[in-house]
Amino acid sequence: MAVPKRKVSPSRRNMRRSHHALGANAYTEDKDTGELRRPHHVDLKTGMYKGRQVLTPKKD
């Protein structure tokens, strides 16, 4: 059975976890409304996705 020979130092542990950080969210400008939205997501104000009406728009 594999057992660690020595304790992993905090420095080495943190270097291993350096790739676990989350990146910033990407936003694109909507062609129709000009508002920022996430790519590949439905625009909740208009209900449009890929040029099609997917949802009924919310009433304010």
Q: What is the pLDDT of residues 1-53, one digit of tens each?
A: 899 999 999 999 999 999 999 999 999 998 878 889 899 998 888 888 888 99
Contact 26, 39 (CB under 8 A): yes
Q: What is the rounded distance in angstroms from the CA atom of residue 60 to the CA atom of residue 46?
A: 12
User: pTM score, two decimals?
Assistant: 0.55
